[in-house]
Structure 1
Amino acid sequence: MENYIYYSYLTASVAYGLLLVFVIFNKNRHYPFIIAVLCSAIWSTSVTFATKSSHHFFADTLAHETIRNGSWFFLLGALLSKQRYNNYKQLFLGRTSIAITALVLIILSLESFPQSLKLATSIMDTDPRFAGHVVFAVLGLILVEQLYRSTPLKQRWNLKFLCVSLGAVFAVDLLVYSKSLLFNHLDFALWQSRGITNALITPFLAITSTRLKLNSGGTELTTPRKTIFYTTILFGCGVYLILMSFAGFYIKRANTEWGETAQAVFIFLALLLLIVPFTSGKIRALTKVYFSKHFFHYSYDYREEWLKISKALAKLESLEELKGFIISTLTDLVESTGGGLWLKNDQGRFFLAAEQNLRLTPQEIDYLHNVGDLPLYLANKQWVIDFFELSHAPEVYDDIDLSPWCYEDSQVWLIVPLFHLNKLEAFVVLTQARVPRKLNWEDHDLLKTVGMQLANALALNRASEELANNRQFETYHRLSAFLVHDLKNLVAQISLIVRNAEKHKHNPDFFDDTIDTLNNVVKKMHHIVEQLKQGEPQAATNSVVNLATIVRSIAQQHLGSPPVTLDTNLDECPVSADKIKLTNILTNLVQNAQDATRNSDGWVKLELTKNQDYAQIKIMDNGVGMNQQFISERLFKPFDTTKGNAGMGIGAYEARDYIIKNSGHIRVDSKPGMGTTFTIQLPLAKRISDTPKELRN
């Protein structure tokens, strides 16, 4: 046996030596890894010398093994810290790291100083070194498990061989020292094989040294729940094993005659204590749900699922695409063969809006259309209806009658509600899965979470559609308002003719003016009809017009009460504008001035001048006037009028909007009781005589 131990650990020494040379000269140097390999080589070499030396014993090599374990702990801790905090040092600042370091130092001191070991042994009545190395093995397995589980899937290939190798080393150590602790002496049959097992893992460690590159961004981290679960499981196994070993040892020590029998009975009872709970379906189910929900590693990466669906939703351009996406998303999540989407209409009733391979009978679809209890049930319970669960636990769904779907060949499997702000927006009926399966709590949570995201998309789409409709209505109302405003001005012109007809009907000039006014009204009416045909205001078409002619025509048409007087000596004043639009604007301002001066001494004046760059029109009256606050806040605000039902409140707004768009300026000067002056400036165009005939008005 001595030769076997010698060659076993000699093989490990050579293997670790070669590995040390390899990692030192490797370009991708990782110093904690180099230190761990060096300590492993020292440990295996010390055991090799102990087999041939009469002055050293195998127990003396336990200190070297403790140093080896500490070095591997340091490596695993550094890698864990890098994964979780993107910093090699962060993890070592915690209390757990300090406690592990303290434990290593305590065991190392016991193994290095015989007096301390003798004192501890007398107090504990057993060798504390075996217990210490059992704890080391459990800690090593915990760290290996944590490192593997904390590493993102795409990066696990970097650490796969490291975790497998160290997991095997610590598992063998756990077996060796737990049995040694039970019998209170080193189990040489198992201990001698560790040299070979350590030699066998060195090729895997060599591969690891070339791959040891963790994420530098530190963005893919794991959740704390997963860490707690695996720590709890391994720690529980280690505590159970230690307690069982101590109990078996003391039972055996208590009475040598029946110690072996008592030990066997104890082990049997311990196994029975484990087997009985796990053979109980109820206990097993409750335990599985509790640990799965609070500690177990999630089957789904919720962040990844959420981002994936969000990116897909951003690419959709229509409601029809969204309907199909909702069904396909939910069917893909649970591997369903098909489904249908029921949306809520304006009356609050649900209807089949889209389907994909929905293999339901007409009676089932009619029931979904007409049923009133199902939406109410979904809104109150806010959970997924699972017909597989219904068949095995019907008491869960006592509050609703689902019998129309409860027959042998029914294809209905799941009914998934979609909630937005706790209101049921829609629900999806999914048919049977491609491969029959039972959904767990995590599947249900994922369906509800995805359902909320899809409901948000539906609500956003509905809001966008309502906004688009409101914009269409706004355009329609805006068009209507401008058309009614133009019609009001035309009616005012015709009313002026009617009011003056009795007084001037024998005046030939009055008839000439009347014909001109009616001709202008007809042109404007044709323009309004064309706008109604187009469905929206036509863009103004500018041309060079004679502003002097337009102003004279407006003054001639407003000879009523009070009459409009014109002050100008210009025969030609060319500006670039739409003649009909500009005429309407000036006519409206003149009409407003007349409305503001309904007294016996009221007057309205039109004044037209020009300078080198601009034509200037002033519309002046001595009416009621306006204060500065009204001019600043209300005068140019659309649909705000002081005339009650007689006004539209868009004349001044339309005038300013058109003049500014044509690079002009408008200014208002007014005081209450002293009248108002509108000053309009428009850029001059070329002379009328220089303008092509086809552009003249």
Structure 2
Amino acid sequence: MVSATAVIWIHALVALLFCGVVATYPRTQALSVPRWLMLTAVAASAAWALSTAGISSHDVATRAAGAARDLAWLAVLAVVARAADGGAARARLGVYAATAGCILLAAATAIAAELAPDAHTTALLESTALTLRMLGTVSALVLVQRASIEEGASGRQVVVAALALMWTTDLTIDLLAWIIEARPAVLTVARGAVMVAVAPLIAFAAHRGDEGTIRASRTITLRAIVAVCVGLYVVVSGIVMGYLGPLAGENARTVQTAFVFGSAASTLTLASTPWLRGWAKVVVAKHLFRHRYDYRTEWLRFTDTLGVPGGAAEALEVRVIKAMADMTASPAGVLLTVRDGALAARAAWRCDEAPDRAGSEALVDHLQTSRRIVDLDALRAEDSGDAEAGLIPAWLREWEAAWALIPLIHVDRLVGAIALARPPLARALDWEDFDLLGVAGRQVASYLAEDGAHGALAEAQRFEEFNRRFAFILHDMKNLVSQMALVARNAERHADNPAFRADMIATLQDTAQRMTTLLARLSQRPAGSAGSERGAVSLDELARRLATGRRAQHPVTVTATGDGATWALADRAALETVLGHLIQNAVEASPADVAVTLTVAQRGGEGIIAVTDRGAGMAPAFVRDGLFRPFVSSKPTGFGLGAFEARQLVQAMQGRLEVESREGVGTTFRVVLPRAEEMEEAA
């Protein structure tokens, strides 16, 4: 009862859908098929479905309606084929006539079976009608295949696809009915379910017309084939279970369960094998598409693999192998790069790495000159004295899975090569493989060349940073040498003065400490990262200590204009370096008997320490354009790095360096830093 209800509902739905196609069919003719002919075929399909739902699929009227439906669609197919090949379908007129004859004879025989006088004659006529119907369906499918001449389908090709689906289903159901010598309701329901899909295709084709093209992607095609196979599996399983029930007797439930479980497990195991998936893709590409590869999909996947690492530790070298291997479904690969004129292993994916020296200079020259992808299977098969075969290294010949060696050419230079393993479904390389892998190889070569350029640039930047720090340290060493020279000259005049000797010892200790600090800076952070160790620094205490350390070199005085101690947020070591540059420049610019002044002050939320000299001063143009430029100095023996480094260090501490200078009067440098007011309040 449930099956009969399903037959009624599914075929009523089919009739409703085809009536909807009639109602919404465009008034203007978009297809190359006459509008009246399409409407006739659609109406015949609706009448057949309505008859099946309202009467029975075995009734004479239903069989006559089915024959009318098939004849109408056969006429549509004839018009479509003639439009597709420019009229050559006339030569196949006899085939169309024979197909129509089989359909008519099948219907007539079925009607005669209903009128037969005895059961034996009825069975004979039913069998003959079924055979004629299958013969007509096979012939119609052959004509459908001949009409499918385009890969990119227009609206009429969608009609052809819909007819192929309809008649393939009819043939399958009739064949199953002939095998089991019965037509259970489940087969009638299956036919109705397929017709539910056919109706929207016809409607879509009618509205699409012949203007645009419709292309089914490989993914959709494969999924459709999988869906059809699943449907066939379900149908066949149902039929087999129907036979197993009576045969198994009391153990029917157990036997049927074991059959379902075993067949499902076997099918899933078979479907999960890489070989079967590869075989299915090859068959679909070979028989349903003009090209083996879906170039758009392959290129999108290729660029995604190159640009997006699959894991945190997946380096570019591994990604380029994987990107190339995915195109051909290769399970493994090795990347070789040019090193010292020969090929050397750089990375491997899913295989053991190649030896360090993986290819000779002669192989590099050959690949760079020929740019030819080496078919390793072909070289093994030939087993000849070919010059190219002699260049292939022993490890690659002995790697039985090795399939292709792809040169990576950047501009006119060989960057490296990728050796790919043979796909699960072994096949020979052809022109499509050579073209696609050649283009992809050039793209990979550009990625590797760019990566190498980035690496060289990073190394050059590291050397540049080292040289920069060394230049600053050399400048500081010059200041220390100048300081020691002044101490030595003053020692000649004041060596007998105990106070001077005490200042000289303090100066020497300070100089030794500063030299140790300078040497340590060679292996520390770059200049300009001083702000990372900021803390509260007492500007008053720092000014007094620096003044004390300079007394043996030159008079230095300290003054404070604020109320109480002034604390600033700064990196103490960096601030001492800055003030050391400024004090040394002030000492060198000042007369021997004129003191350099260190002034500590407060201004709003800022702490200031200023270094003032009474030297010759600087011109405004030099202050504006040359003072803070590296390697530009107003002194004959200067490096031009002191003011430049000082400003960088102050800016890294979120401060600023101000300068005032007047020719003939002197110069004042002010280091302005944020105040540490909480330390001042605690003091």
Q: Give the counterpart letter for 2:366 in structure 1.
A: Y
Q: 8 Å contact 1:544–1:691 — kept in the other structure?
A: no
Report whether the alignment pairs 1:476 with 2:482.
no
Say whether 1:636 aligns with 2:631.
Answer: no
Choose the corresponding residue for 1:551, options 540, 543, 557: 543
Q: How many Å separate the matches in 1 of 2:517 and 2:37? A: 92
Q: TM-score, normalised by structure 1?
A: 0.55
Identity, % of aligned positions? 26
Q: CA deviation at 1:299?
A: 1.4
1:97-120 Cα offsets, whole Å, 9 max, x none, are: 9x99xxxxxxxxxxxxxxxxxxxx
For 2:659, the aligned partner's letter is V
Q: Given the alignment, which residue of 350, 353, 370 partners 1:381?
A: 370
Residue 425 of structure 1 deviates from its aligned partner by 1.0
Contact 1:165 1:201 in 2 (8 A): no
User: How far apart in 2 are the matches of 1:19 and 1:627?
Assistant: 97
Distance 1:30 1:477, change over 3 A: farther
Q: Where do 1:670-689 residues align within 5 Å?
A: 670=661, 675-686=666-677
Decide whether aligned partners of structure 1 residues 378 and 678 sit closer, same or farther in structure 2, where only a CA change above 3 A counts. same
Question: Partner residue of 2:417?
Answer: 427
Secondary structure class of the residue paired with 2:668: strand
Separation of aligned partners in 2, 1:311 and 1:584: 50
Taking the TM superposition and a 5 Å limit, the aligned residue runs for 1:516-595 are 516-528=506-518, 531=521, 541-558=533-550, 564=556, 572-576=564-568, 577-595=570-588
Counterpart-to-counterpart distance in 1, 2:155 and 2:291:
11
Pick aligned residue for 1:323 from 317, 323, 332: 317
What are the Cα deviations for residues 470-499 of structure 1, in whole angstroms up to 9, with x where unaligned? Answer: 443344334434444443333333222112
One-letter amino acid matched to 1:636: F
1:284-683 aligned within 5 A: 297-313=290-306, 314-315=308-309, 321-334=315-328, 338-345=332-339, 347-355=340-348, 368-369=358-359, 371-390=360-379, 401-402=390-391, 411=400, 412-430=402-420, 434-528=424-518, 531=521, 541-558=533-550, 564=556, 572-576=564-568, 577-596=570-589, 604-611=596-603, 613-621=605-613, 623=615, 625-637=617-629, 639-642=630-633, 646-670=637-661, 675-683=666-674
Give the distance between the partners of 1:404 and 1:578, measured in 2 at CA. 60
Amino acid at match of 1:164: A
Q: What does 1:163-178 correspond to in 2, within 5 Å?
A: 164=164
Q: Is the 8 A contact 1:575 1:682 kept in 2?
A: no
Check the 8 A contact 1:161/1:207 in 2, yes or no.
no
Q: Partners of 1:569 and 1:674 in 2: how far apart? A: 22
Residues 1:324 and 1:407: Cα distance change in structure 2 (over 3 Å): closer
CA distance in 1, matches of 2:669, 2:356: 68
1:161 and 1:205 in contact (8 A); partners too: no
Q: Could you tell me which amino acid in structure 2 is paired with residue 344 of structure 1?
A: V
Distance 1:426 1:684 in 2: 59
Which residue is equivalent to 2:91? none
CA distance in 1, matches of 2:378, 2:628: 67
1:402 to partner: Cα distance: 4.1
Show the 5 A alignment for 1:75-154. Answer: 141=147, 146-147=152-153
Relative distance call for 1:300 and 1:484 in structure 2 (3 A) is: same
Across the two proteins, how many residue pairs are aligned to each other? 489
Q: Secondary structure at the match of 1:450?
A: helix
Letter in 2 for 1:146: G
CA apart distance, 1:373:
1.8
Q: Do the aligned partners of residues 27 and 480 (structure 1) sit closer, same or farther apart at CA in structure 2, a change above 3 Å counting? A: farther
**1:146 counterpart SS class:** coil
Measure the CA separation in 2 of the matches of 1:450 and 1:213. Answer: 42
What SS does structure 2 have at the residue aligned with 1:147? coil
8 A contact 1:30–1:212 mirrored in 2: no
Deviation of residue 435 (structure 1)? 4.8
Shift in CA distance, 683/333, structure 1 to aligned 2, threshold 3 Å: closer
Shift in Å at residue 38 of structure 1? 1.9
Flag the 1:348–1:320 CA change in 2: closer, same or farther, 3 A: farther
Shift of 1:574: 1.5
Identify the range of structure 1 (647-656 vs 604-613) with the bigger mean alpha-carbon deviation: 604-613
Q: Is the 8 A contact 1:613 1:683 kept in 2?
A: yes
- Please give the alpha-carbon distance, in whole angstroms, between the structure 1 residues aligned to 2:396 and 2:497: 95
Deviations 1:343-377 (A, max 9, x none): 122x33321223467699x9xx69844x2221111
Q: What is the TM-score normalised by the length of structure 2?
A: 0.56
Evaluate the alpha carbon distance shift between residue 459 and residue 489 of structure 1 in structure 2; reply closer, same or farther with a 3 A threshold. same
Structure 2 SS opposite 1:344: strand
Residues 371-414 of structure 1: CA distance to partner in whole angstroms, max 9, x if unpaired?
A: 22211111112120124444678999667844876999773542
Quick check: 1:593–1:604 contact (8 Å CA) kept in 2?
A: yes
CA distance in 2, matches of 1:166, 1:72: 18
2:380, 2:393 → 1: CA distance?
13
Gaps of 5+ in 1: 1-15, 46-63, 77-95, 101-136, 152-157, 169-199, 224-291, 693-697
Question: How far off its partner does 1:566 sit?
Answer: 5.2
Q: Structure 1 residues 515 and 30, CA, compared in 2 at 3 Å: closer, same or farther? A: farther
Aligned equivalents of 1:635 and 1:340: distance in 2?
Answer: 56
How many Å apart are 1:442 and its aligned residue? 0.2
Q: Say whether the 8 Å CA contact 2:77–2:160 is kept in structure 1.
A: no
Task: Provide closer, same or farther for how the CA distance between residues 665 and 324 of structure 1 changes in structure 2, counting only shifts above 3 A.
Answer: closer
Instruction: Note the residue ranges of structure 2 that are not aligned, 5 or more in a row.
Output: 1-10, 47-70, 87-142, 169-189, 206-211, 217-284
CA distance in 2, matches of 1:686, 1:406: 73
Distance 2:675 2:582 in 1: 21
Paired residues of 1:140 and 1:167 also in contact (CA < 8 A): no
Is contact 2:559-2:597 (8 Å) kept?
Answer: yes
After TM superposition, give the deviation of residue 441 of structure 1 in Å: 0.3
Instruction: Report if the CA contact (8 A) 1:374-1:400 is conserved.
Output: no
Q: How far did 1:456 drift? A: 3.1
AA at the equivalent of 2:631: D
